[in-house]
Amino acid sequence: MAEAASQDPSADAAEPSHPAIPSGRGHLAEPDGTSAARSPSARGIHTARAAWSRLPESVRATLPLWLGSRIAVALLSLAAARALTSRPARDAPGLRTLWDHWDVGLFTKVARYGYLSPAYSDRTEVDFPGLPLAIRLVHLVVPDWIVAGLVVSLLAGAVTAAALWRLAADEVGAPAARFAVVSLISFPYAVFLFAAYSEGLFLAFATASWLAARRQRWWLAGLLGAGAASTRISGVAFGVALAVQYVVGRRAAGRPVFAWPALALALPPIPVLAYLGYLRARTGGWGAYTDAMRDGWHRGTDWPWSGWATTWSSATDGNGASTFVWFWRGELLAVVVGVLLTVVLLIGRRWGEATFVGVMTTIMACTNYYASGIRGILVAFPLYLLLARAAARSPRVAPVYLLLCTPVMATLVIAFTQGQWVD
């Protein structure tokens, strides 16, 4: 079966380094006879290389790529800020200011003051607590709240890149697995993987959980799935998908479905129920989340065709602001992509992945208007695994994807950091 568990749990382990041997001159030497440490700097380099070689292969394959892409995004935002302003050069905004826009401020408010605080009036109850808690934790060592959020996204992205590479490499090998990471980094809305938004943290938990599920390590998968569920509403869809993947994985491994590991599937719902219980204790009603969504964002549940009609009207409004018109068009496209991706995954009999994308698409479509759907597609990691499989079959997939998506991604980085509405 396509989603059967990997039979090689040690596939990600690094190869052991050769032991150093005496050189006969008071130093250690490598097997080829060269001195392993002739100076403090040489010893430092040797130690760093040895430490690097002991890291998992997935980390060594992706960390330079991830960090390099973050540097490129940071430089792009800084260059755009200086090229697109008429203010004096000394007044050009720094990196912190450029990345403090839109929902970043909302997550930061929750991290600083908590929910339902008199310090602000925004209805932040619609934001799950996972990211604010992570920001608050990092804030213990990073004094600036905005920078703390950027650090969370940076670290979460490194975990995502490594887990995504491992998931793809198990199927198509290392060369094509690299494109899974590149396709994520180049996704048009990947700007939200740099900013202090919840997408990066969700992906870190979700991809690591899926990897644990592939290894049949269900308690770890359930615990990481609970982390994903604590970050955003997409975690509800992921919890359902993890249950489907459990059944698929257990049957493929020839193991009984009704066994102790099945209890791990109860872990992902716990953060959601705990959060709703917290809001119930603070507000006195179980509908605090939906009330905040309605009062703060004018959103509620509705039939998919009703939401489509409303969003279509906004997307074709010639008198509407250009940024918002294109935003609505992106939301319509997100639902289409979600449906098509679900169908493709079902045809490929990838039941767990199809469940995640399908349930997530249903949630974002069953509202009175579409919003944040394109960020839902951003966290649909089965898309990047599908692209890696396609790239392994055809060398044309990677360049075509990069040609189409990278310019859009760069444009949206500039738009976001210039305070233009992106999503």
What pLDDT is stored for residue 71 in this prediction? 97
- Assess whether pLDDT exceeds 50 at residue 16: no
252-259 long-range contacts, CB within 8 A, separation 24+:
252/1, 252/3, 252/4, 252/5, 253/4, 253/5, 253/216, 255/216
- Assess whether pLDDT exceeds 60 at residue 112: yes
- Assess whether pLDDT exceeds 80 at residue 5: no
> Where residue 22 falls among pLDDT bands split at 50, 70, 90?
very low
| pTM > 0.95 | no
**SS3 state of residue 237:** helix
- Assess whether pLDDT exceeds 60 at residue 165: yes
Query: Considering only CA atoms, which of 20, 89, 5, 12 is closest in space to residue 50?
Result: 20
Mean pLDDT value of segment 232-254: 94
CA 222-228-229 angle, to 5 degrees, is 85
What is the Cα–Cα distance from 346 to 40, expressed in whole angstroms? 58
CA 140-145-149 angle, to 5 degrees, is 90
253-270 pLDDT, tens per residue? 888 999 999 999 999 999
What pLDDT is stored for residue 38 in this prediction? 58
What phi, psi does 299 have (nearest 5°)? -115, 145
- Assess whether pLDDT exceeds 50 at residue 42: yes
> Where residue 48 falls among pLDDT bands split at 50, 70, 90?
confident
Q: Picking from 9-13, 308-312, 410-414, which range would have the lowest pLDDT averaged per residue?
A: 9-13
User: Residue 362: which residues within 8 A CB-CB, separation 6 or more?
Assistant: 304
Q: What is the mean pLDDT of the chain?
A: 89
- Assess whether pLDDT exceeds 90 at residue 130: yes
- Assess whether pLDDT exceeds 60 at residue 19: no
What is the Cα–Cα distance from 366 to 350, expressed in whole angstroms? 24
What is the Cα–Cα distance from 169 to 163, expressed in whole angstroms? 10
Place of tokens 């990092």: 138
**SS3 state of residue 14:** coil
What is the Cα–Cα distance from 238 to 193, expressed in whole angstroms? 19
What is the Cα–Cα distance from 113 to 125, expressed in whole angstroms? 13
What pLDDT is stored for residue 2 in this prediction? 40
Q: Picking from 180-194, 196-210, 277-291, 311-325, which range would have the lowest pLDDT averaged per residue?
A: 311-325
- Assess whether pLDDT exceeds 80 at residue 33: no
* Comparison of pLDDT for 35 and 61, the residue scoring more: 61
- Assess whether pLDDT exceeds 50 at residue 395: yes
DSSP state of 265: G
List b or e across 224-237, with b for residues whose CB sees 16 or more CB atoms inside 10 angstroms: bbbbbbbbbbbbbb
What pLDDT is stored for residue 35 in this prediction? 47
What pLDDT is stored for residue 34 in this prediction? 47
What is the Cα–Cα distance from 281 to 276, expressed in whole angstroms? 9
**Four-CA torsion 4, 272, 379, 93, nearest 10 degrees:** -150
Residues of the chain above pLDDT 90, percent: 74
What pLDDT is stored for residue 349 in this prediction? 95
What pLDDT is stored for residue 50 in this prediction? 82
Place of tokens 């997100």: 334
What is the amino acid identity at position 296? G
What pLDDT is stored for residue 321 in this prediction? 84
What is the Cα–Cα distance from 201 to 222, expressed in whole angstroms? 16
Burial classification of residue 11, based on how many CB atoms lie within 10 Å of its CB (0-12 exposed, 13-18 middle, 19 or more buried): middle
What pLDDT is stored for residue 86 in this prediction? 74
What pLDDT is stored for residue 423 in this prediction? 80
Mean pLDDT value of segment 375-402: 96
